[in-house]
Chain A
Amino acid sequence: MFYLNYVLSELRRRRGRTLVTALGLAVGVALVVTVSALSAGLDRAQDRVLRPLTGVGTDLSVSRPISFSRGAGNGLSTGERRRLVQENGPRPLALTKLGKPGSHFSRDDFVATSQLSFSSSKLSRVRHLSGVAAAAGGLTLTTIHVEGKVPKQQQQPQQQFGAGAVAAGPPRNINLSSISVAGVDVRHPGLGAVTPGQVSSGRFFARASAAHEAILDLSYARRKGLRVGGTVHVGGKAFRIVGLAQTPLGGQSSDVYLELSRLQQLAGRRGRVNTVYVRATSASAVDGVSREIKSAVPGASVTTAKDLADRVSGSLVDAKNLTGKLGLALEIVGLVAAFLIAALLTIGAVAKRTKELGTLKAVGWSQRLVVRQVTAESVVQGLVGGALGIVLGLAGAELVSALAPSLTATVANAVQATPLPGPFGQGQPTSASTTVHLDAPVSLGLLGLAVLLAVAGGLLAGAAGGLRAARLRPAEALRHLE
């Protein structure tokens, strides 16, 4: 208790110096707290952007993209080419066969997106690979709805409607619209084109009634004025809208989500999927699983969470990079400056106390005890600096959160690397962007780090001062005149 009283009384005596030293350390600690909180906020923002797509970093998605840069065969087998034509080839629409001229007609066709479909057997093969915790199939298609009156001109040449015709434009009196539809395996709600976490209003599919339910993309619903509880028509069938989902950044968003088997049935693609969503047993297993899938499913394109993270760009990434480099440099410079100031001030304080420390040695204080006393004073200064630094750092973090600067994140779509021209329905996928508001969370761990740094700064300063004190010869110290 005596030693502590002595420490505190000395710090009180040199209040100004104590405050300056503590403030120096506080600035260094506050820099670390604020910059680390900012970095954590950026991590969280990035996580917010990617989480809907990537689960918790253990998800992969498998597709079978078609490359048009590989020449005539497109890298496809004969069977695959046949299926490609079967699933996506232009379907003749003989207007003369639709009915009498002037009569109303309506027709729905489904075409695939830029991925080849594959059978459930491949899905089963993926499921049984080591490192795979779960796998679910998904089917993303475009439904083209053609509706109108049969033209009267009998001599009009036969019109064909398919995806290619969309660009050319329909004849008059005939309306043509398309929407993208994704099938979701409701037995694996966490794996699919839409997950319960992405539903912003309403609910996810109920397994018992999923066949009659639809979830709409929020922006599509807004565009079409559709709400939860309403009805949407796909392939000539009505579905009750049970939820609206927020489009995940970089994901292959669709306008409408249906239960997978129902979509397969509507589209005449029973047992076919064109995306497999995979959850690995652990983050460390992802790379191995990715390799195994590529070998088990020839031509497969595997997109991992890391691939997605690598494709994120925009001010969010710029800020992250800036924090990673400049922030770290700022932290280091700030801390070194703070430690240096503390050490110099402590050495200065010891120099001013030469006679006092000499007296202590004269009355029987050992060198170790004198050094301990000087160091203890510095550590207490460090703790005061740490406390001030935490307050300043929290204020800085609070300021960042209060200002909440908006950052944009853009993710290039996974299939953008293999662009497809018009005939396959969706056309070219576009990059997705989103805006996130930055905050700066301060964790208990960060506060602990701040205290540790402050104590380390105090110890360092104490060591410098203690070294000076240790070198004092008592006789010389007593000759010193203050």
Chain B
Amino acid sequence: MTVPTNDTLYDLRSVSRVYGERANKVRALRDLDLTVHDGEFLVVAGPSGSGKTTLLQLLGGLDRPTEGEVLFDGRDLARLGDAELTGLRLRTIGFVFQQFNLIPTLTAAQNVEVALAPRGLDAAGRRTAVERALASVGLEERADHLPSQLSGGEQQRVAIARALANEPRVVLADEPTGNLDSATGEEIVELLRSLSNGGGRTVIVITHDPQVAQAAPRVVRLRDGTMEEAA
């Protein structure tokens, strides 16, 4: 366990998350303590069902803990209202999903624009932000392509561009290489790591892929909802 310091971004204290009731009760996380520093590249590893995705959703303000506190920049996310969490996700956190979660009828540029639309930017401002985001993942030439016209790696790059569109402090990636071949997966991991190293962003990657874990300076391993070890 890392001791909170001045550059602590996340501070999780005795966090538990329980789904269901009585006989169907499932404890996805148990008394988890975790500190993540600003600008850190962290990998959360563990087998399926270990609670990785639950942890990511708590970090992203998509879910609330049953017990404990998830402090983000000193604020307990569990105490924020829906509107505040929505604002936080819009401006501060970018998500990358295993299945990319792109909207199939929108082009790459429009998929990136999805994340910008709620901000109320004018068309020119949105266009500039889209171009910048796509350029940062090397896909500026593929802006007008539909997801079905892109490879898996390119689709994941579009998803990363969407996550970066609002220049968030944090990027949360859930199994970002799960649907990619190993070579493409390595490219994506490298891209995510570059967002932290030099990019200044905090990047938290959830994976069960040992190769991804090897590439990270710090790895947190989960098993049955508890933190097994930190490397």
Asked whether, in the complex, the Cβ of A365 is within 8 Å of the Cβ of B57, the reply is no
Chain B residue nearest to A6 in the complex (CB) = B106
Complexed CA–CA distance, A359 and B82 (Å): 15
A176 CB-CB contact with B under 8 Å: no
Complexed CA–CA distance, A359 and B103 (Å): 9
A13 CB-CB contact with B under 8 Å: yes
Contact with B along A387-426 (1 / 0, CB 8 A): 0000000000000000000000000000000000000000
| Complex interface: chain A residues within 8 A of B114 (CB) | 6, 360, 363
Asked whether, in the complex, the Cβ of B60 is within 8 Å of the Cβ of A363, the reply is no
Assuming the contacts A362-B60, A366-B86, A475-B62, asked whether A355 and B101 have C-beta atoms less than 8 A apart, the reply is yes
| Complex interface: chain A residues within 8 A of B126 (CB) | 2
Complexed CA–CA distance, A1 and B116 (Å): 13
Complexed CA–CA distance, A227 and B166 (Å): 90
Complexed CA–CA distance, A223 and B110 (Å): 81
| Complex interface: chain B residues within 8 A of A474 (CB) | 62-63
Complexed CA–CA distance, A243 and B95 (Å): 88
Chain B residue nearest to A373 in the complex (CB) = B117
Chain A residue nearest to B123 in the complex (CB) = A1
Q: How far is the CB of B95 from chain A (nearest CB, A)?
A: 5
| Complex interface: chain A residues within 8 A of B57 (CB) | 475, 478
Asked whether, in the complex, the Cβ of B87 is within 8 Å of the Cβ of A367, the reply is no
Asked whether, in the complex, the Cβ of A9 is within 8 Å of the Cβ of B105, the reply is yes
Asked whether, in the complex, the Cβ of B118 is within 8 Å of the Cβ of A369, the reply is yes
> Which secondary structure dominates where chain B touches chain A?
helix
Chain B residue nearest to A5 in the complex (CB) = B110
Asked whether, in the complex, the Cβ of B110 is within 8 Å of the Cβ of A364, the reply is no
Chain A residue nearest to B117 in the complex (CB) = A2
Q: How far is the CB of B74 from chain A (nearest CB, A)?
A: 21
Contact with A along B39-62 (1 / 0, CB 8 A): 000000000000001000100101
Task: Give the interface of B toward A (CB within 8 A).
Answer: 53, 57, 60, 62-63, 82-83, 86-87, 89-91, 94-95, 97, 101, 103-106, 110, 113-115, 117-118, 123, 126, 162-163, 166
| Complex interface: chain B residues within 8 A of A478 (CB) | 57, 62, 97, 101
| Complex interface: chain A residues within 8 A of B118 (CB) | 364-366, 369
Chain B residue nearest to A1 in the complex (CB) = B123
Asked whether, in the complex, the Cβ of B62 is within 8 Å of the Cβ of A3, the reply is no
Task: Give the interface of A toward B (CB within 8 A).
Answer: 1-3, 5-6, 9-10, 12-13, 355-356, 359-367, 369, 473-475, 478-479
Query: Number of contacts between A and B (CB, 8 Å)?
Result: 73
Which residue of A12, A363, A473, A479 is within 8 Å of B105 (Cβ)? A12
> Which secondary structure dominates where chain A touches chain B?
helix
Asked whether, in the complex, the Cβ of B83 is within 8 Å of the Cβ of A366, the reply is yes
What 10 A-B pairs come out closest when comparing CB atoms?
A364-B90, A9-B105, A475-B63, A359-B101, A475-B62, A363-B115, A13-B105, A475-B57, A474-B62, A364-B89
20 pairs from A and B in contact (CB 8 Å cutoff): A5-B106, A6-B110, A9-B106, A9-B110, A359-B97, A359-B103, A361-B62, A361-B86, A363-B162, A364-B91, A364-B118, A365-B117, A366-B86, A366-B118, A474-B63, A475-B57, A475-B63, A478-B57, A478-B97, A478-B101
Q: How far is the CB of B25 from chain A (nearest CB, A)?
A: 17
Complexed CA–CA distance, A4 and B162 (Å): 19
Complexed CA–CA distance, A402 and B178 (Å): 65
| Complex interface: chain B residues within 8 A of A360 (CB) | 114
| Complex interface: chain B residues within 8 A of A362 (CB) | 60, 62, 89, 95
Complexed CA–CA distance, A364 and B87 (Å): 6
Complexed CA–CA distance, A359 and B123 (Å): 22
Q: How far is the CB of A161 from chain B (nearest CB, A)?
A: 95
| Complex interface: chain A residues within 8 A of B53 (CB) | 479
Which residue of B62, B101, B113 is within 8 Å of A2 (Cβ)? B113
Complexed CA–CA distance, A364 and B170 (Å): 14
Q: How far is the CB of B157 from chain A (nearest CB, A)?
A: 16
Which residue of B104, B105, B115, B123 is within 8 Å of A364 (Cβ)? B115
Asked whether, in the complex, the Cβ of A10 is within 8 Å of the Cβ of B105, the reply is yes
Complexed CA–CA distance, A231 and B208 (Å): 112
| Complex interface: chain B residues within 8 A of A10 (CB) | 105
Complexed CA–CA distance, A345 and B203 (Å): 40
| Complex interface: chain A residues within 8 A of B89 (CB) | 361-364
Q: How far is the CB of A374 from chain B (nearest CB, A)?
A: 14
| Complex interface: chain A residues within 8 A of B86 (CB) | 361, 364-367
| Complex interface: chain A residues within 8 A of B123 (CB) | 1
Asked whether, in the complex, the Cβ of B82 is within 8 Å of the Cβ of A367, the reply is yes
